[in-house]
Structure 1
Amino acid sequence: MNERGNIMTKIKPILPGLIVSFIIAVISQGLALVIPNLGGATIAIIVGIILGNTIIKQPILNKGTHYSEKALLEYSVVLLGLTISFQTIAKVGWVGFLFVIIQMAITIISAILIGKMLHFKEGIYLLMAGGNAVCGSSAIASIAPVIEANDEDKEMVITLVNLIGTVLMLALPIISTFAFGANDLLRGAMIGGTIQSVGQVIASASMVNSLTVDFATLFKIMRIMMIVIVVFIFGRMHQKTIQNELEADAEISGNGSGSLLPWYVVGFLVFCVLNSLIHLPSFIGLTAHTLSSWCEITALAAIGLRLNLKAFIQSGKKFLIYGGSIGLIQIVASIILITLLLK
């Protein structure tokens, strides 16, 4: 009885913020049926920002929204592992894989260099690099602990990355058709190799046709599979930065201390390997995808509720220049690489 009481004592402060975040997620999913071009994830963060900066500011929600933001994104990353397999690479061939690797490398290098030019700190430019190169919010959630990024930086970058993704989601069906005509493979490569989140990729490709959705999803999945490597590299980069700044005998402390791969990235990798080696029933992948999506959208609603819109707007000009520059580079690089490698 005492143990049950302790559990309830821990859960009760979380419930108000978690419930409000989930309600916003449900509303957002409903609105996404009416305006599918935006998608539930984008709507959730927008609704969260509006409500969190106007009528929903109660301190009682803080613990629950913090839990939703952190834990639910972690669960979302783990569940993604059950939706993909290494056999994906074989479906688009080594040339398609090469395109994804080079496109990601260009995005990461550009985000880091531009971030430094605009005098953003390491936490901002590494989260921007990973979020745009890999898979949006899930990548940011995976990278944040290993580089010891604070919550405010993470929230602002997730908001900006989702904004960039929304713009690209609406623009790329037109741009890819203009660049590659009716070639569904090439249009799918551009959409899947560029846009940030899985939901945005599918929504964007759906504006073209179902075959483009299939190809775009394959290219997107290959990017997601690289999350483990990106987290590992960024963790090493951060440790090197810390070692350069501190005395030789100083200990590295913080959220990411002592671990280059958080538990949920390891979980993602384990599930991915399992899914590659064993033919799991299709309902497992579908269930994992559904749960992952709900976890992500609820977490994005919580991030919107917690975002300090005033601070975001104060950094707005620099952030918009930053985000716009990365988006433009991604578009140009994908057109050049697809023309050289896949056309």
Structure 2
Amino acid sequence: MKSQLFYLKMMKKLGGRKILPGLLLAVSVAAVSKILAIFLPQLGAATLAILLGILLGNTFFKQPSLAIGTRFAESKLLECSVFLLGATVTAQTIAHIGTKGVLFVLLQMSVTIIGAYLIGRKLQFSETSSLMMAGGNAVCGSSAIASIAPVIYADEEEKGQIITLVNLLGTVMMLTLPFLGLHLFGDNLIEKSALLGGTLQSVGQVVAGASLLDASVVQFAMLFKILRIMMLVVVVFLFEKFMQKKNPEIIADQKRTGTKRKLPLPWYVLGFVLFCIVNSLFKLPAIIGQSAHFISNWFEITALAAIGLRLDFAKFMKEGTRFLSYGLAVGILQTIMALFFIWLIQL
């Protein structure tokens, strides 16, 4: 009885029946993808989920009523999947990345931030838009933009425009970088993972792009991505100080309102790290790792199906050439510099 009441409360809090249509659709696409993968093992369930989701989302299932559920599947289920992924990773796994991997992430993030900001200002985008574009591409897409926007006093219209642009850019890179990495690096797991985990914008895009290759790339690409997300606290702090220096009136406003910023590090990153530490220090029962892997895989496939369902190609046509030029320039910069740093550091 208590479990039923808890379930009902959770469903009410999350939007109840409004979530179900889109969520059930994403689960159904994931299930169909799992079945098709039996007959098409060379593609795999993850790739099939994305492709099937894109096909259905741009044809039969464009109803706005599905958006709440697919958004929930894309974000919350993927967050849980990343958290559970920590049970399958140990310190020994992370050691494969090493100090070179950390250096790669720091260099790539620095160049992305500086480059995206300067390109934005050159194209006459506002200070705040350029900073959001820089942070969104350098760290973790929409989540980073949501954390950065308040501290630089960006308005909602600018925020929405940049989120759309970053997601469009991430979609293009998600569908192209895996094949570029496969062509350039072949069987080199770390280099392919660094390219995807070090450049793709959102967690979902990293998982989706890496899934087009194999499960090992997903695991290692997520390690690079986690390193980037853990830098979000630093990026938000530096952006806030940068804007305060250029606009001293912000300091006075913060003192007047007493505004305090909380650390923006996502819960699933902390959970991933904690799970990884426990898994490294103690020999967990095999059933825990197996269960975590099974649930994480289902959540991941369902989230990827939702990503496909929410990928609206019509949005590509609605954005102006100035916005698309900005996105294209930043994407090219990220890709070229990632390849250069991978070569320079010799990952």
TM-score (norm 2): 0.70
Query: Structure 1 294/6 Cα, relative in aligned 2: closer, same or farther at 3 Å?
Result: closer
Aligned to 1:133: none
Aligned to 1:77: 82
Aligned to 2:22: 17
1:63 maps to a residue whose letter is I
In 2, Cα distance between equivalents of 1:336 and 1:174? 16
Aligned to 2:236: 235
CA deviation map 1:146-174 (0-9, x unaligned): 23586785566345314213212112222
In 2, Cα distance between equivalents of 1:152 and 1:284? 42
Match of 2:262 among 226, 239, 258: 258
Residue 191 of structure 2 is aligned to residue 190 of structure 1: yes
Aligned to 1:180: none
Superposition deviation, residue 67 in structure 1: 2.5
Match of 2:303 among 282, 299, 304: 299
1:129 maps to a residue whose letter is A
CA deviation map 1:30-87 (0-9, x unaligned): 5566777876556545544554444324344343233223322322332233233333
Is the Cα–Cα contact under 8 Å of residues 74 and 142 in structure 1 kept in the other structure? no
Aligned to 2:138: 129
Superposition deviation, residue 27 in structure 1: 3.5
Indicate the SS of the match to 1:66. helix
2:181 maps to a residue whose letter is L
Match of 1:98 among 84, 99, 103: 103
CA deviation map 1:213-266 (0-9, x unaligned): 86x67853541341442221233245447765742324659xxx6342233332
Aligned to 2:144: 143
Is the Cα–Cα contact under 8 Å of residues 38 and 166 in structure 1 kept in the other structure? no
2:77 maps to a residue whose letter is L
Is the Cα–Cα contact under 8 Å of residues 165 and 323 in structure 2 kept in the other structure? no
In 2, Cα distance between equivalents of 1:219 and 1:52? 29
In 2, Cα distance between equivalents of 1:38 and 1:161? 21
Match of 2:316 among 295, 312, 315: 312
Superposition deviation, residue 19 in structure 1: 0.2
Superposition deviation, residue 111 in structure 1: 4.0
Superposed, 1:199-210 pairs within 5 Å as 200-201=209-210, 203-204=212-213
CA deviation map 1:275-297 (0-9, x unaligned): 23223345544543443343344
Superposition deviation, residue 3 in structure 1: 4.3
1:13 maps to a residue whose letter is K
Is the Cα–Cα contact under 8 Å of residues 18 and 65 in structure 1 kept in the other structure? yes
Aligned to 1:161: 170
Is the Cα–Cα contact under 8 Å of residues 88 and 222 in structure 1 kept in the other structure? no
Indicate the SS of the match to 1:110. helix
Aligned to 2:152: none
CA deviation map 1:269-321 (0-9, x unaligned): 32232223223345544543443343344334434444554343222745654
Residue 77 of structure 2 is aligned to residue 68 of structure 1: no
In 1, Cα distance between equivalents of 2:184 and 2:165? 28
In 2, Cα distance between equivalents of 1:141 and 1:29? 29
In 1, Cα distance between equivalents of 2:330 and 2:40? 26
2:221 maps to a residue whose letter is K
Residue 171 of structure 2 is aligned to residue 171 of structure 1: no
Over the aligned positions, Cα root-mean-square deviation in angstroms equals: 4.1
Query: Structure 1 70/89 Cα, relative in aligned 2: closer, same or farther at 3 Å?
Result: closer
Query: Structure 1 143/43 Cα, relative in aligned 2: closer, same or farther at 3 Å?
Result: farther
In 2, Cα distance between equivalents of 1:111 and 1:37? 37
Superposed, 1:9-48 pairs within 5 Å as 11-29=16-34, 44-45=49-50, 47-48=52-53
In 2, Cα distance between equivalents of 1:279 and 1:111? 44
TM-score (norm 1): 0.70
Residue 252 of structure 2 is aligned to residue 280 of structure 1: no
Is the Cα–Cα contact under 8 Å of residues 58 and 309 in structure 2 kept in the other structure? yes
Q: Which runs of 5+ in 1 are unaligned?
A: 131-138, 178-183, 207-212
Percent identity over paired residues = 36
Aligned to 2:224: 223
Q: Which runs of 5+ in 2 are unaligned?
A: 150-155, 201-205
